[in-house]
Structure formats: structure tokens, C-alpha cells
């Protein structure tokens, strides 16, 4: 994608005044010194533990802009305070603000982000950016991060603008918000799904994690979709953490009338069976000109599994309504949405049992998938899970507690052990169990799956949690090819 050159002064104007002698035209921008040439501007920001200038070895550059302080910057390098926070805005300016030419939906929360952005990409025919991949669904690139760095985000948006894509659904992680990766993205809609314990190896505590998520809604968004069944979603509203100019669509699937009574979009008459999900979609349409309210309702049937997908479908409906999709068209759109790879993904066994592959890797997500699948399982419900190495140790026993409580039988195995001893990770998890009845330890991961599958009878199911769509396992610092789905299907075809 060719981009017209821009003057250095125009890119840096909001942040520093450039000496006329330093003016030059910039043909590319990068944060990676390995991509430098005489036409490229290097934006050298400070990282968590290192400064980008630590890796500089004299490569040619059109200009170097760095984040001070730095003890000995290269000759001619230009200091720009808080450069890391400005990267997104600089990149957006360089690429002519691509988000302004499309509708960008930002989704934040602990669980449900990947499913929701995938559903929105299906429903709108647009692109997605998140854990599962980047791009239109028929041309997804493998994702390196849930939310990539700010330059990559703007590059993707600019490329999709050139392809004529009009809608983008983007996962917005807490890391991305804390690190200003989505600066320069003009979101049309922000969605809050829920919040529970996760990433406490990065955030100081749950409050710090919540405050990072809340940053999305401090912006003057045209619309915010908020799950008011979640205590943190209600807090966004109760503590006035949503910008006062933002239109709010409150979403609820609660069985009681509080907080559903305050909801704009809600679900009633929820039923789950072997065929999927059934509910009544309800919409209270408040006319902002005269405050009149009109009520709409319609039945929805979906072949998706699990109770939490009711919430994902409601959030999808809320976003479609925010995009002015007629209510009468929405039930049919929801009915066409297919499952997301590695999210409550069902693999049927010949004897009537099933393996359910899911990305659940937090205590709350594991509870959600086990509770969500239970109504679809008339027989015994198994759970296979592991915990990631070099990550939050505190959630390991909580994961085991969730599995022990909500599954009939549990197998603890490896996830991505990384540089930790897998046995130590499992020992941490086992501290959360009680009598340890119907709990086994089996490793490596593929052996755990092969051990459970032959034991499943008609009507039984096993939830294989933690890796979802991932096709690798990290052992030490090396990624090895591995897939839960492939392991199940290989077992199915083995003699």
C-alpha cells in the first residue's frame, strides 16, 4: 500500500516544534530499527523494561524521534516527551485517519471479546481485529497480539479502507488501553462485556485492571453498549465513567427484573437444548427527541451452544441497532451466525458424545463454559484444563475449584508451561481442590485428551479448556505445533 510522503513537522506538530533545518519528507514510519532506511522515520519509545534506542546500531533513517530521558541519544535525534502515548495519533495522521472512513467497534472485557468481534464481522461483512486474527473473515491473518501495536493497527485500518471495508470490530485489551495502543482510533461504538480476574501478572490488582478497561468509555463515543448484568458494567454507569455525550445501550440477559428492567436490549424466555439457544429478543427504543419509548420483541433461535452466547448475541444485536439496522432484520441475522473457532466449538463423536473445545483460561471463563454447556449435556460432563506458565499464579487454584465444582470429572494437564516446571503449575492448581474425588492429573495434554475420549458415553461431553483456536503450545521459549481440535480428530480417525 503506497502512502504519500508527509512532512516531519506535520507529523510532530502537536507534540514539538521542529527547527526548519530539521524538516524533511517522510516516506514510512516504524518503531522497529530493523525496518529503517533513509526514507523512514523511526519512533523510538520507552518500553516496560528497555528503551527502543537500546537496540540502535547506526542504521540509516530519515529522522529519529525518541522518548526522553535517554543518556546518549544518536546525534540529531529529536526528543518527544511521552512519545509512547502519541504513537497512535502520529500513525493515524500518517495514514490519513483511516478509522474516520469506516465504523470501528471496540470491544473490551475479560470474556466474550473474540466471539463478539467475530459475530460482528459475520453480521456486517466487515473485518475483525483480535485474538483469532486480523482482517475479513475470508482472509484472516494470524494474530500476534489481541490488540497489536498502534502502527500496525493504523496500517491494517488503512489497508482495509483501500479494500472498501466499511465496518471493523476490534478487541481492545486492557494492555492496549494502558499502553495507548488504540490512540488515534476513532471508535463509533464501545462495548463492555464483563470483568473478572485476569492479567493480574500485569495489572496491580482488579481495580487497576478495571480502570484500564474504563478508559475506553471516557472517550466521547457516539455509542456505548454496556452489560449491566456485570457489577463492573453497572459501575461504569453508576460512577459516571461513560462520557456524558455518549448514547448508552444497556444490555441484560438476567432472569429477574433487576437489572433487566433498566435494559435497552434484553433476552427473555431463554431456553437451551440439544439444538442450541432460544430466547425472545426485547428492545426498548427511546426516541431521544420526545422521550417516547416503543417496545419491540421477536423470537431468536441459534445453533450456538452455551448460555454465555445469549450475551454475545445480545451484544451483537445492540451493536446492529446502534448501526441503525432495522429491528425486524436482526433475529434473522443472529440465526445465521456460526460458531467461532475454539469458542464452545463442538466436535461430535460417533457414539453421541461430544468434545467441546474452548479458550476459557480464567476462573470466570471456566465457570461460564461449564455452566453454559451443562444444559446441552444429559450425561456426564468432563473438564480438561491447564494453567499457563509465567502468568498469574493466583488464578490456578481458582481454576481447579471451578472445574471441581461445575464438572462431574476433571483432568488437570498442561497448557502453555513456558519456562515453568509443568508439575509445579499443576501443584498450584491442585491446592484449590477439596477431596480430589474424580480429579486426575494426566500429561502431556494430548495424552489427557486421549485418556478421556474413550470413556465418553452417549450424552456425555468433555470441555477441553484453555487453548481454543491456538495451534501451538509454548514449552520453554519455543512454540510447538499443537491443536486440541487436531488431537480429537486424530483420535476419531485412528484405528
Cβ atoms of 162 and 202 within 8 Å: the answer is: no
pLDDT at 2: 73
* Domains of the chain with CATH codes: 6-83 (3.40.1390.10), 98-336 (3.40.1190.10), 345-493 (3.90.190.20)
Does the structure show a pLDDT above 80 at 27? yes
Report percent pLDDT > 90 for the chain.
85
Question: What is d(CA 3, CA 43) in angstroms, rounded to the nearest whole number?
Answer: 18
* DSSP letter (8 states) at residue 17: P
Question: What is d(CA 466, CA 203) in angstroms, rounded to the nearest whole number?
Answer: 21
Largest CA distance in the chain: 77
Does the structure show a pLDDT above 80 at 258? no
| Overall residue count recorded for the chain in this entry | 495
pTM as predicted:
0.87
pLDDT at 482: 98
**pLDDT band at residue 232 under the 50/70/90 scheme:** very high
Beta strands in 25-102 (DSSP E): 25-26, 28-30, 40-44, 63-66, 78-79
In tens, the pLDDT along 99-123 reads 999 999 999 998 889 999 999 999 9
As a whole number, mean pLDDT of residues 137-166 equals 93
pLDDT at 255: 72
* DSSP letter (8 states) at residue 204: S
Q: Under DSSP, is residue 116 helix (H, G, I), strand (E, B) or coil? A: helix
In tens, the pLDDT along 410-438 reads 999 999 999 999 999 999 999 999 888 89
Judge if the upstream peptide bond of residue 469 is cis by omega within 30 degrees of 0. no
In tens, the pLDDT along 38-70 reads 999 999 999 988 999 999 999 999 999 999 999
Does the structure show a pLDDT above 60 at 261? no
| φ, ψ at 465 (rounded to 5°) | -105, 150
Average pLDDT, the chain: 93
**pLDDT band at residue 198 under the 50/70/90 scheme:** low
Gyration radius of the chain's alpha carbons: 24
Question: What is d(CA 188, CA 45) in angstroms, rounded to the nearest whole number?
Answer: 28
**pLDDT band at residue 196 under the 50/70/90 scheme:** confident
As a whole number, mean pLDDT of residues 154-160 equals 98
pLDDT at 208: 86
Report percent pLDDT > 70 for the chain.
96
pLDDT at 199: 45
In tens, the pLDDT along 274-327 reads 889 999 999 998 755 455 678 999 999 999 999 999 999 999 999 999 999 999
**pLDDT band at residue 203 under the 50/70/90 scheme:** very low
**pLDDT band at residue 256 under the 50/70/90 scheme:** low
In tens, the pLDDT along 329-357 reads 999 999 999 999 999 999 999 999 999 99
Amino acid at each position: 500500500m503506497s502512502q504519500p510522503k508527509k512532512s516531519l513537522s506535520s507529523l510532530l506538530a502537536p507534540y514539538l516544534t521542529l527547527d526548519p533545518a530539521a524538516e524533511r519528507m517522510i516516506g514510512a514510519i516504524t518503531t522497529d530499527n530493523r525496518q529503517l532506511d533513509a526514507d523512514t522515520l523511526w519512533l523510538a519509545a520507552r518500553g516496560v523494561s528497555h528503551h527502543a534506542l537500546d537496540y540502535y546500531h547506526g542504521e540509516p533513517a530519515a529522522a529519529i524521534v525518541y522518548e526522553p530521558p535517554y543518556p546518549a541519544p544518536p546525534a540529531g535525534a529529536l526528543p518527544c516527551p511521552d512519545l509512547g502515548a502519541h504513537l497512535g495519533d502520529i500513525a493515524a495522521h500518517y495514514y490519513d485517519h483511516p478509522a474516520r472512513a469506516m465504523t470501528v467497534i471496540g470491544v473490551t472485557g475479560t470474556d466474550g471479546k473474540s466471539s463478539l468481534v467475530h459475530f460482528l464481522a459475520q453480521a456486517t461483512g466487515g473485518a475483525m481485529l483480535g485474538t483469532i486474527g486480523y482482517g475479513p473473515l475470508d482472509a484472516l491473518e494470524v494474530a500476534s497480539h489481541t490488540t497489536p501495536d498502534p502502527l500496525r493497527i493504523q496500517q491494517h485500518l488503512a489497508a482495509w479502507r483501500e479494500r472498501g471495508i466499511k465496518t471493523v470490530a476490534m478487541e481492545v485489551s486492557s494492555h492496549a488501553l494502558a499502553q495507548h495502543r488504540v490512540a488515534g482510533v476513532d471508535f463509533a461504538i464501545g462495548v463492555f462485556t464483563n470483568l473478572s480476574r485476569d492479567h493480574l501478572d500485569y495489572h496491580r490488582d482488579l481495580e487497576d485492571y478495571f480502570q484500564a478497561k474504563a478508559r475506553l468509555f471516557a472517550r466521547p463515543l457516539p455509542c456505548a453498549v454496556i452489560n449491566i448484568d456485570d457489577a463492573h458494567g453497572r459501575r461504569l454507569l453508576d460512577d459516571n465513567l461513560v462520557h456524558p455525550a455518549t448514547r448508552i445501550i444497556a444490555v441484560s440477559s438476567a432472569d429477574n427484573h433487576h437489572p433487566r428492567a433498566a435494559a435497552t436490549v434484553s433476552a427473555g424466555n431463554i431456553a437451551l437444548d440439544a439444538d442450541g439457544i432460544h430466547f425472545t429478543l426485547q428492545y426498548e427504543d427511546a426516541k431521544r427527541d420526545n422521550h417516547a419509548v416503543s417496545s419491540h420483541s421477536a423470537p431468536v433461535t441459534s445453533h450456538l451452544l452455551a448460555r454465555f452466547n445469549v450475551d454475545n448475541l445480545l451484544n451483537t444485536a445492540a451493536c446492529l441497532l446502534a448501526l441503525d439496522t432495522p429491528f425486524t432484520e436482526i433475529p434473522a441475522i443472529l440465526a445465521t451466525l456460526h460458531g467461532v473457532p475454539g469458542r464452545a466449538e463442538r466436535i461430535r463423536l460417533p457414539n453421541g458424545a461430544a468434545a467441546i473445545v474452548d479458550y476459557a483460561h480464567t476462573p470466570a471463563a471456566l465457570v461460564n463454559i461449564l455452566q453454559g454447556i451443562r444444559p446441552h449435556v444429559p450425561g456426564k460432563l468432563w473438564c480438561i484444563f491447564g494453567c499457563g506458565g509465567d502468568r498469574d499464579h493466583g488464578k490456578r487454584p481458582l481454576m481447579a475449584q471451578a472445574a471441581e465444582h461445575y464438572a462431574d470429572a476433571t483432568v488437570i494437564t498442561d497448557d502453555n508451561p513456558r519456562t515453568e516446571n509443568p508439575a509445579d503449575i499443576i501443584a498450584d492448581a491442585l491446592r484449590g481442590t477439596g477431596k480430589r474425588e474424580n480429579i486426575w492429573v494426566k500429561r502431556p495434554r494430548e495424552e489427557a485428551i486421549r485418556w478421556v475420549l474413550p470413556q465418553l458415553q452417549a450424552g456425555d461431553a468433555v470441555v477441553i479448556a484453555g487453548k481454543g483456536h491456538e495451534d501451538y503450545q509454548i514449552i520453554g521459549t519455543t512454540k510447538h505445533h499443537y491443536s486440541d481440535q487436531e488431537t480429537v480428530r486424530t483420535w476419531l480417525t485412528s484405528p
